[in-house]
């Protein structure tokens, strides 16, 4: 308990404030991320969950300032890394943060690794880019890293190319690469989606172990609600560019407040649901973000929608300490209107 107190008092490692990232395409402006606020504390795992097109990955890329520009642009908002805004710092300074302090693991390890360089060379490159070490030291460190992520016979496998590794091994290499500079924050974008369940279990165990050993914070982006339940301390549920609910993992699963969170949890088949029970499905489909629905973006699909939901954009309210919801049922905005 005492430990938790100190964690709470500590300043946030990362704060994202009212972030708006838009893409200016030929068809119109895609409001991919539209007012997202969250924070990440040291040593915690924050889950970003939502369907495709909800803005999870764009949020992560915005934090890294890797949004392709044009067409993308961070319109407004702020990203505070260790107490300082990193939105306007020069690209050269950003490069010392990216990879060094904030590392990232993407979904498909085959496309993130360079196919014509050996695994060893790729990890060494990252180490030498960010740290003043000799060739030999870098090689030693590479070997230790590969051993750390559980690659057998690491010394020999340094000289192998990515295609000589299996999917799970490649993802471990990606994690080793991400860890090469002891980052404070690891952003894992669907790290296990391309993997089998048994290999997924190994990779998740590895990430959990890293968090405990090095106090690395993790932003885990996934659409797999099971993975969220197992890994995360806090969860942010995203829908159409907004965070609709943010709370600790137990609250999200046991006392969800936002209708979308409730619907999402109902839509997954439970372990012992029988074949005859109809699975709950959310009517309609994900909105087009060029022309999102007015008011609350979820209202056309929401079971609990009121007439006012199509008119008023909901504010985010804190129901209990740490439990944020963006829904008119809780904000009191409807009553004020009346």
Partner 1 sequence: MSSTKVETETSSEGKIGNGPSNDPDIVLEVINLRKYFPLEAGYLFKRKVADIKAVDGVSFKLKKGETLGLVGESGCGKSTIAKTLTFLHKPTSGEIWFKGRDLRLLSRKELREVARDLTMVFQDPAASLDPRFTVMQSILEPLEIHNLVDETEKYGIVRDLLLRVGLSPHHAYRYPHELSGGQQQRVGIARALTLQPQVIILDEPVSALDVSVRASIINLLIQLQDDFKFSYIFIAHDLSVVRKISHKVAVMYLGKLMEYGNVGDVYDDPMHPYTQALMSAVPIPDPTVKKERIHLKGEVPTPINPPVGCRFCTRCRYVRQKCFLEEPELKEFENGKLVACHFAEEIKAGTHKLADELVDAEITE
Is residue 253 within 8 A of residue 220, CB to CB? The reply is no
For residue 258, give the 3-state DSSP assignment: coil
Toward partner 1, which CB reaches closer, 262 or 306? Answer: 262
By CB under 8 A, the residues from 64 to 123 that bind partner 1 are none
> Near partner 1 by CB under 8 A, which window of 84-92, 102-110, 180-188, 262-270?
262-270
Which phi and psi (to 5°) does residue 197 adopt? Answer: -55, -40
Residues 133-162 that bind partner 1 (CB under 8 A): 152
Nearer to partner 1 by Cβ, of 58 and 97: the residue is 58
Burial (Cβ within 10 Å: 0-12, 13-18, ≥19) of residue 336: exposed
Pick from 185, 188, 219, 264 the residue near partner 1 by CB under 8 A. 264
111 burial (CB, 10 Å; 0-12 / 13-18 / 19+) is exposed
Residue among 169, 236, 240, 305 that touches partner 1 (CB under 8 A): 169
Q: Which of 1, 116, 136, 271 binds partner 1 (CB under 8 A)?
A: 271
Residues contacting partner 1: total by CB under 8 A: 47
CA distance 209 to 2: 22
> C-beta of 257: minimal distance to partner 1 in Å?
16
Q: Where are the beta strands (DSSP E) in 165-287?
A: 185-189, 217-222, 234-239, 242-248
Q: Which is nearer to partner 1, 78 or 224 (CB)?
A: 224
Among 279, 310, 332, 337, which residue interacts with partner 1 (rule: CB under 8 A)?
279
- Measured CA to CA, the distance from residue 36 to residue 29 in angstroms comes to 17
Residues 199-218 that bind partner 1 (CB under 8 A): 199-202, 204-205
User: Residue 298: helix, strand or coil by DSSP?
Assistant: coil
Binding site for partner 1 (CB under 8 A): 51-52, 152, 166-169, 196-202, 204-205, 223-230, 232, 249-250, 253-254, 263-265, 267-273, 275, 278-282, 285-286
């Amino acid at each position: 308990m005492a430990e938790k107190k100190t964690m709470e008092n500590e300043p946030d490692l990362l704060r994202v404030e009212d972030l708006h990232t838009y893409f200016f395409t030929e068809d119109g402006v895609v409001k991919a991320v539209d007012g997202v606020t969250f924070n990440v504390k040291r040593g915690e795992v924050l889950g970003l969950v939502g369907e495709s097109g909800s803005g999870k990955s764009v949020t992560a890329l915005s934090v890294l300032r890797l949004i392709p520009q044009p067409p993308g642009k961070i319109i407004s908002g702020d990203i505070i890394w260790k107490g300082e805004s990193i939105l306007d710092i020069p690209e050269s300074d950003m490069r010392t943060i990216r990879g060094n302090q904030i590392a990232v693991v993407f979904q498909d390890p085959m496309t993130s690794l360079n196919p014509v360089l050996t695994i060893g060379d790729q990890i060494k490159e990252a180490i030498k880019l960010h740290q003043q070490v000799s060739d030999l030291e870098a090689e030693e460190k590479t070997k230790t890293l590969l051993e750390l992520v559980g690659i057998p016979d690491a010394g020999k496998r340094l000289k192998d190319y990515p295609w000589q590794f299996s999917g799970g091994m490649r993802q471990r290499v990606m994690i080793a690469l991400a860890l090469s500079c002891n980052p404070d924050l690891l952003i894992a974008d669907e790290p296990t989606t391309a993997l089998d369940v048994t290999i997924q279990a190994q990779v998740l165990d590895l990430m959990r172990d890293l968090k405990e050993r090095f106090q690395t914070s993790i932003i885990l982006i996934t659409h797999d609600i099971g993975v969220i339940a197992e890994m995360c301390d806090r969860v942010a549920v995203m829908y159409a560019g907004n965070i609709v609910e943010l709370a600790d993992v137990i609250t999200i699963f046991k006392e969800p407040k936002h209708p979308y969170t409730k619907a999402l949890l109902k839509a997954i088949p439970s372990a012992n649901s029988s074949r005859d029970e109809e699975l709950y499905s959310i009517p309609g489909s994900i909105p087009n973000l060029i022309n999102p629905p007015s008011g609350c973006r979820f209202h056309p699909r929401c079971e609990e929608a009121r007439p006012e939901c199509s008119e008023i954009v909901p504010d985010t309210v804190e129901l209990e300490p740490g439990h944020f919801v963006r829904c008119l049922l809780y904000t009191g905005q409807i009553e004020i209107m009346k």
